[in-house]
Copies of this chain bind each other. A is one copy, B any other.
Amino acid sequence: MGATLHVCITCRAGLKPAEGAPCAGARVHEAINALAVPEGVTVKPVECLSACKNGPSIALTGPGRWSYIYGPVGEDDAAVILEGAAAYAGTSDGIVPWRERPALFRKNVIARLPAMEANS
């Protein structure tokens, strides 16, 4: 089963966007959608991951896997985010070996959560 890459599309990252311009989170989402999404990864927009202090933020989830939340990320990080998402999708438990994680993910982790299956 695949992984889901959630992208917060409402994050303003503390800035008011120019009138009519997309906010910072929406720009990250657009940049990701402009690239080829790796097999096994589904991109889903989400309204607010409540990580506003560290936004824009993204999250990786998947059945049986630890979930990870990352931020801040920017539109220039789109390719790296998808690379990290592909590595995550390739695991069974969500735990990518440290050295194989993109530097962005190593540095900008906000939090992680145990697999839901183990919780309920």
Interface size on A, as a range, is 20 to 34
Verify A4–B50 contact, CB threshold 8 A: no
Of B49, B61, B109, which contacts A119 at CB under 8 A?
B61
Given A67-B113, A111-B50, A111-B57, A119-B1 contact (CB < 8 Å) = no
Verify B113–A6 contact, CB threshold 8 A: yes
Verify B114–A116 contact, CB threshold 8 A: no
Verify A113–B63 contact, CB threshold 8 A: no
Q: Is the CB of A16 closer than 8 A to any CB of chain B? A: no
The residues of B that contact A120 with a CB separation of less than 8 Å are: 1-2, 4, 61-63
The residues of B that contact A59 with a CB separation of less than 8 Å are: 111, 113
